[in-house]
Chain A
Amino acid sequence: MMADILFTAEGVTKKFGGVTALSDVSMAIARNSIFGLIGPNGAGKTTFFNTLTGLYRVDQGRFTFDGKTLNVKAPHEVAQVGIARTFQNIRLFGEMSVLENVMVGRHVRTKAGPFGAIFRPPSVQREEREIAERSRKILDYVGLSKRAGEKSRTLAYGEQRRLEIARALATEPKMIALDEPAAGMNATETVALRQLIERIARDGTTVMLIEHDMRLVMNVCQHIAVLDYGRKIADGTPAEIQKDAAVIKAYLGGAHGEGEGSKA
């Protein structure tokens, strides 16, 4: 089954001082699939994530996206290319309303500048209307339209996670990367999240899922890669991963500390 490939990592290596956080990591993500990236704490998941989203520079190797080398010099270019992300430790714009948070996501696909803002020519008015309408639709999509006017910091935890996804979707990404979206969620919320993720992929956005919740990953992903100590130790379908000896060893026998060493 040769699927249409959207994203690849080719021999990506990242060092911090003397520590190799990522060592020769390669993977490929098929378009419109849900791809899981798992691994014990400190395995390098978040480092991988931050590297591909432009927060860190790679030392060796490269990423390709949509057939081209992903060459981002600043974090903000990543969204332009079509990769949106959420954050492990939710980073919403707390004092802005729920709707405004999503509207910020439209920034990268719109263009009004300071003069447009002040003089408001018809083109800018149209753009503003389009931004608001589209953002409302996205809020509806994740089930938050009732909270549109509230400040985002007042939302419940699970709602904040969904808002982050909505905000990322507003950038019209080809791929959305979710960093531990189920963390801190209860069972009902996780089920709703799973349905949302599946819907996003069905509607044509590739999902890259970095997760701890093994059940969620196994249930929702078509393909999974496993990192351990900065190396990829396995790659395959959920069924294959569940049987993989190296993975089992890493998860059960690993002497990893509980501290989240992959943070930064």
Chain B
Amino acid sequence: MDVLLQQIVNGLVVGSVYALVALGYTMVYGILQLINFAHGEVVMIGALSAVFSSKWMLAMGMGPILALLLATLLSMLICATVGVLIERLAYRPLRNAPRLAPLITAIAMSILLQQIGILVFGRNYFTFPELISKTPLTFGHVTTTPNEIMIFVVSVLLMGGLLWLVHNTKMGAAMRAVAENQKIAGLMGVDINKIIAITFAIGSALGAIAGVMVASNYGQAHYYMGFMLGLKAFTAAVMGGIGNLWGAMVGGLLLGLVENVGLIFVRGDYKDIFAFVVLVVVLIFRPQGLVGERVAERA
């Protein structure tokens, strides 16, 4: 029982990061019906920039909390720029191309960003400074750290913020309109290109935060870290019902929980399989995802 509780806590922490990354996938998918394969690499860039900038800030004598805040902000800025650039240069010209063309471009973009990551940062594992304490805190039989608590709380706040943004602001309404029907949204006077750029910026900025979280949680960052993380986050998004914000959150948390609770029963080597086995099972029984709506077959 104690083990189960502990794994649930661990699962929620990891799951909240998956959810943040999954949001980036699902927002882009909702609007462009494109799997933005490069999103995992955007997360990686966010993590690595934060590693370097926070180290520099610490060396300049800044306090750890301030350094974390500033480094995260800087990462968000960098990632948002990268995200918008990717869309502008690689995806926008292909909006009316055959369906697989943008997907291949996205995959190539992912490889390209990895190489750029190597060129800019290098191939090493870089340690992330301990900006928020990782001293274990024990509640009853469950152990966690201030760092983990921060990750979970910030994720939940961000998700809440995003939902508010999408459902309660004019920009959110425009985003929903573009996702619903681009042509009609355009006729209604929505600047589609701007909305799509904003979507990429927001998704990438969220990804940057997730990258910082992962790096701080594991204490390191690496040019290849975005790959598996991105894959799992996308899996989470599909599991929840791609294109649906709630789905991404539910899928992310669920995936984190399943992986960590599953560890009680199966050896850790198979951890990465869970994600995919659960995905296959979910999709067989609910092909539209857990939260997604069933789209009727049109005649």
Question: Chain B residues with Cβ under 8 A from A50's Cβ?
Answer: 299
Interface of A is mostly: loop
* Cβ distance B294 to chain A, nearest Cβ, rounded Å: 12
Docked Cα-Cα span, A263 to B297, in Å, equals 11
Partner of A46, one of B296, B297, B299: B299
Q: Is A87 an interface residue (CB 8 A)?
A: yes
| Interface size, B (range) | under 10
- 13 A-B pairs within 8 Å (CB atoms) are namely A46-B299, A49-B299, A50-B299, A55-B297, A55-B299, A87-B299, A88-B299, A263-B298, A263-B299, A264-B296, A264-B297, A264-B298, A264-B299
Contact with A along B266-299 (1 / 0, CB 8 A): 0000000000000000000000000000001111
What mask results when residues 104 to 134 of chain A are scored 1 for a CB within 8 Å of chain B, else 0?
Answer: 0000000000000000000000000000000
Residues of B within 8 A of A263 (CB): 298-299
Q: Which residues of A contact B298 (CB under 8 A)?
A: 263-264
Q: Which of B296, B297, B298, B299 has the most CB of A within 10 A?
A: B299
Q: Could you say which residues of chain B place their CB within 8 Å of the CB of A55?
A: 297, 299
* Shortest distance from the beta carbon of A168 to any chain B beta carbon, whole Å: 15
Known: A55-B297, A264-B299. 11 other contacts (CB 8 A): A46-B299, A49-B299, A50-B299, A55-B299, A87-B299, A88-B299, A263-B298, A263-B299, A264-B296, A264-B297, A264-B298
Report A183 CB to chain B, min CB distance, Å. Answer: 15
Residues of chain A with a CB closer than 8 A to B299's CB: 46, 49-50, 55, 87-88, 263-264
CB distance from B189 to the nearest CB of A (A): 22
Sort chain A's interface into a size bin. Answer: under 10
Measured in the bound complex, the distance between the Cα atoms of B299 and A162 in whole Å is: 19
B-contacting residues, A76-94, CB 8 Å: 87-88
Complex: how many Å from CA A88 to CA B296? 17
Which residues of A are interface residues toward B (Cβ below 8 A)?
A: 46, 49-50, 55, 87-88, 263-264
User: Which B residues touch A88, using CB under 8 A?
Assistant: 299
CA distance A46 to B299 in the complex (A): 9
In whole angstroms, how far apart are the Cα atoms of A263 and B298 in the complex? 8
A87–B298 Cα distance when bound, in Å, is: 11
| Complexed CA–CA distance, A218 and B296 (Å) | 34
Bound form: Cα–Cα A88–B298 in Å: 11
- The minimal Cβ–Cβ distance linking A33 to chain B, given in whole angstroms, is 25
Closest to A88 in B: B299
Nearest-neighbor residue (CB-CB) of B98 within chain A: A95
Complexed CA–CA distance, A50 and B246 (Å): 33
* Distance of A264 Cα from B295 Cα, bound (Å): 11
Chain B residue nearest to A179 in the complex (CB) = B299
- Closest A residue by C-beta to B296: A264
Determine the distance from Cα of A44 to Cα of B135 in the docked complex, in whole angstroms: 67
Cα A50 to Cα B296 in complex, Å, equals 13
1/0 contact string of B97-111 vs chain A (CB within 8 Å): 000000000000000
A49 contacts across to B, CB distance below 8 A:
299
CB distance from B101 to the nearest CB of A (A): 14
Which residues of chain A are near B296, meaning CB under 8 Å?
A: 264
Which residues of A are found within 8 Å of B297, using beta-carbon distances?
55, 264
A53: nearest residue on chain B (CB-CB)? Answer: B299
Residue of A nearest to B298 (CB): A264
Q: Determine the residue in chain B with the shortest Cβ distance to A87.
A: B299
Chain B residue, CB-CB nearest to A46: B299
Chain B residue, CB-CB nearest to A49? B299
Q: Sorted from nearest, which 8 A-B pairs have the closest CB atoms?
A: A264-B298, A50-B299, A55-B299, A264-B299, A264-B296, A46-B299, A263-B298, A55-B297
- Docked complex Cα distance between A264 and B296 (Å): 8
Q: How far is the CA of A49 from the CA of B298 in the complex (A)?
A: 13
Q: How far is the CB of B90 from chain A (nearest CB, A)?
A: 25
**A237 CB, nearest partner CB in chain B, Å:** 29
Q: How far, in Å, is A142 (CB) from chain B's closest CB?
A: 23
Residues of B within 8 A of A46 (CB): 299
A153 to B299, CA, bound (A): 19
Nearest CB of chain A from residue B208's CB, rounded to whole Å: 41
* A87 contacts across to B, CB distance below 8 A: 299
Docked pose: A13 CA to B296 CA in angstroms: 19
